[in-house]
């Protein structure tokens, strides 16, 4: 009987164990916090995991070039510092022309010396004596075709229509003289071919749109220097008349770019008065008006102290050199270069009638201001705080120019 009861109790305990285990699992805390950590949202993929990375697209390579297309009678197109898709050291001059001109505006062909263009903007080869499209790079004629000339960047390309006699000019301007030369190949005494520069005579030069004249045998012509600033310049020399096209000629010399200018610097009247001097403009205006002159040897005496004689002569000329019949009260040398001016100044009471006129006495800025006020009834302030200091001829000119 006891065995039966013991067996029943054991069986009941075995049936209850899963329930106790289940409850323990629901209430137990994890022994290791790492077991419950959630994966980071920003975790980087492990190296070698095969995850793909997104790369920025590489920028397309370009080459900077300038291109000008000169037709028979006019400029046809121009680009400055244009960006052409391609790689430096691989892009050719022909590639640049294609890209900029556009396929609708050119016809090209392959010749024994490489690619060349037979038509640009409707102007086809074959006019005149072997007329066709030629090119220069940085002012020089390459020895290879446009399809073979490789660009490095920064080149200035000119494609022009011409024949065997058309010259591409190099332009130089020095000391107001424009000179045109052309580069060519010549066989030397040793049999070697060398590049030489030759003058281009008979070229008509236009200055600000007006015909100026023609270059002489030395390829030069003097440019006007009387108007400082920038001036447009253009050239023209006609070659053979083009058969069947009235009034059109093959260019003997390639035109300059339409925006070509020459800068005329202000002329230096006196060697001691550079264009950037503070008194340059005033002295120039007074000189052109006949009010001031130099001291000889090309000098104005810009930094020399102004004397009374110089001051009265300048004022006298500003007044138009009026005739004064009344003799001065002061004793003056009637043969002195300043006599008429001093006599006039004394008659206006610029100087007292009594006493002695000292022509060599220095003049202060304040004194010159008083002379001007008596003569013109205008108040002119001395420059640079020279009211009580001796004034130079240059600074005096600045004051007197206000009366012009």
Same-domain status, 241 and 297: no
Which segment, 23-32, 179-188, 364-373, is predicted with the most confidence on average?
A: 364-373
Residue 188 pLDDT grade (very low, low, confident, very high; cuts 50, 70, 90): confident
Rounded CA separation 292/375 (Å): 17
> How confident is the model at residue 24, as a pLDDT?
37
pLDDT tens digits, one per residue of 327-353: 666 667 888 899 999 989 888 888 776
pLDDT reading at 323 higher than 80: yes
The per-residue pLDDT for 243 is 85
Residues 380 and 286 in one domain: yes
What per-residue confidence (pLDDT) applies to 363?
A: 95
Question: Does the residue 6 lie in any domain?
Answer: no
Number of domains in the chain: 3
> Is residue 307 assigned to a domain?
yes
Residue 1 lies in a domain: no
Please tell me whether residues 157 and 198 are part of one structural domain.
no
More confident residue, 396 or 113: 396
Residue 269: inside a domain, yes or no? no
Query: Measured on CA atoms in the order 325, 330, 333, 337, is the torsion positive or negative?
Result: negative
How far apart (Å, rounded) are the C-alpha atoms in residues 402 and 404? 6
361 HSE (CA, 13 A, CB side): 11
As given in the structure block, the two tokens for residue 61 are 């390579």
Average pLDDT over residues 242-262: 91
Give the residue-averaged pLDDT of 208-222: 96
156 and 68 part of one domain: yes
Q: Is the pLDDT of residue 234 over 80?
A: yes
Q: What is the pLDDT at residue 303? A: 96
The 3-state DSSP class for residue 385 equals: helix
C-alpha–C-alpha distance, residues 44 and 89, integer Å: 42
- Average pLDDT on 241-267 reads 90
If one compares 53 and 114, the residue with the highest pLDDT of the two is 114
Of the segments 34-38, 54-58, 351-355, 394-398, which one has the largest average pLDDT value? 394-398
Which of 264, 289, 323 terminates a domain? The answer is: 264
* CB environment 82-91: b (16+ within 10 A), e (fewer): eebebeeeeb
Residues 298 and 337 in one domain: yes
Give the mean pLDDT of 35-61: 53
Query: Could you tell me the CATH number of the domain that includes residue 122?
Result: 2.170.130.30
Looking at the structure, tell me whether residues 158 and 173 fall in a common domain.
Answer: no
Report yes or no: 189 and 179 within 8 Å, Cβ to Cβ. no
Residues 256, 314 within the same domain: no
Q: How confident is the model at residue 37 (pLDDT cuts 50, 70, 90)?
A: very low
3-class SS shares of the chain: helix, strand, coil, % to 5: 25, 30, 45
Mean pLDDT of 150-160: 97
- Tell me if 242 is assigned to some domain: yes
Shared domain check, 399 and 285: yes
Give the structural domain span for 240: 169-264
Question: Is 10 a residue whose pLDDT tops 90?
Answer: no
Structure tokens at 208: 């600000």
124: which strand partners?
A: 119
pLDDT at residue 102 in the model:
96
Identify the burial level of 140 via C-beta atoms within 10 angstroms of its C-beta, where 0-12 means exposed, 13-18 middle and 19 or more buried.
Answer: exposed
Q: Are residues 134 and 195 in the same domain?
A: no
Distance (Å, whole) CA 106 – CA 41:
59
Q: How high is the pLDDT of residue 331?
A: 64
d(CA 273, CA 303): 9
Q: What is the pLDDT of residues 280-307, one digit of tens each?
A: 999 999 999 999 999 988 999 999 999 9
Shared domain for 124 and 192, answered yes or no, is no
pLDDT higher than threshold 80 for residue 41: no
Strands (DSSP E) found in 252-403: 261-264
Tell whether 372 and 302 lie within a shared domain: yes
pLDDT digits over 94-117, tens only? 999 999 999 999 999 988 888 889
User: 42 lies in a domain?
Assistant: no
Cα-only R_g, the chain: 45
**Residue 244 belongs to some domain of the structure:** yes
Q: Please state, in angstroms and as integers, the Cα–Cα distance from residue 132 to each residue in 118, 147, 163, 244, 249, following that order.
A: 7, 16, 6, 17, 13
User: Among residues 264, 289, 324, which one ends one of the domains?
Assistant: 264
| 46 has a pLDDT exceeding 90 | no
Contact in structure between 200 and 237 (CB atoms under 8 Å): yes
Give the per-residue pLDDT at 348. Answer: 85
Asked if the model's pLDDT at residue 86 lies above 90, the reply is yes
User: In sequence order, what DSSP letters do the residues of 268-299 get, joined into one string?
Assistant: -SSTT--TTSTTHHHHHHHHHTTS----BTTB
Q: Per the domain annotation, does 356 fall within a domain? A: yes
Confidence of residue 52 (pLDDT cuts 50, 70, 90): low
Q: Which of 128, 144, 162 is the last residue of a domain?
A: 162
Going by pLDDT thresholds of 50, 70 and 90, the confidence category of residue 13 is very low
Q: What was the pLDDT predicted at 19?
A: 37
Tell whether 86 and 152 lie within a shared domain: yes
Strand order in the sheet with 229-236: 210-214, 204-207, 229-236, 261-264
Q: Which pLDDT belongs to residue 29?
A: 44
Task: Say what the pLDDT of residue 351 is.
Answer: 78
Strands 123-124 and 114-120, by their bridges, are antiparallel
CATH code at 233?
2.60.40
């Amino acid at each position: 009987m006891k065995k039966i009861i013991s067996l029943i109790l054991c069986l009941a305990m075995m049936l209850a164990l899963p329930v106790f285990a289940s409850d323990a699992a629901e209430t137990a805390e994890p022994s290791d916090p790492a077991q419950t950590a959630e994966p980071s949202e920003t975790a980087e993929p492990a190296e070698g995991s095969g995850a793909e990375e997104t790369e920025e697209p590489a920028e397309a390579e370009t080459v900077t070039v300038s291109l000008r297309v000169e037709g028979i009678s006019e400029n046809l197109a121009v680009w400055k510092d244009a960006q052409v898709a391609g790689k430096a050291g691989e892009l050719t001059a022909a590639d640049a022309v294609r890209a900029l001109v556009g396929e609708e505006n050119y016809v090209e062909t392959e010749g024994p010396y490489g690619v060349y263009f037979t038509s640009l903007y409707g102007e086809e080869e074959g006019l005149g004596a072997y007329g066709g499209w030629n090119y220069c790079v940085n002012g020089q004629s390459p020895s290879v075709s446009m399809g073979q000339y490789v660009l490095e960047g920064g080149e200035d390309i000119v494609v022009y229509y011409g024949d065997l006699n058309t010259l591409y000019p190099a332009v130089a301007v020095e000391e107001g003289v424009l000179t045109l030369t052309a580069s060519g190949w010549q066989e030397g005494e040793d049999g070697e071919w060398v590049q030489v520069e030759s003058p281009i005579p008979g070229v008509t030069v236009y200055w600000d749109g007006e015909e100026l004249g023609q270059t002489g045998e030395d390829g030069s012509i003097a440019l006007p220097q009387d108007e400082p600033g920038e001036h447009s310049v253009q050239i023209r020399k006609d070659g053979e008349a083009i058969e069947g096209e009235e009034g059109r000629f093959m260019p003997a010399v390639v035109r300059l770019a339409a925006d070509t200018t020459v800068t005329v610097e202000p002329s230096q009247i006196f060697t001691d008065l550079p264009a950037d001097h503070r008194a340059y403009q005033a002295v120039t205006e007074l000189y052109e008006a006949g009010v001031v002159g130099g001291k000889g040897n090309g000098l104005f005496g810009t930094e020399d102290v102004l004397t009374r004689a110089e001051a009265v002569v300048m004022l006298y000329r500003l007044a138009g050199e009026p005739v004064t019949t009344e003799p001065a009260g002061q004793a003056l040398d009637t043969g002195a270069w300043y006599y008429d001016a001093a006599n006039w100044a004394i008659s206006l009471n610029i100087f007292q009638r009594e006493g002695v006129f000292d022509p060599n006495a220095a003049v202060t800025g304040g004194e010159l201001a008083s002379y001007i006020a008596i003569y013109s009834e205008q108040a002119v302030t001395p420059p640079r705080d020279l009211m009580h200091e001796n004034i130079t001829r240059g600074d005096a000119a600045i004051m007197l120019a206000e009366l012009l």
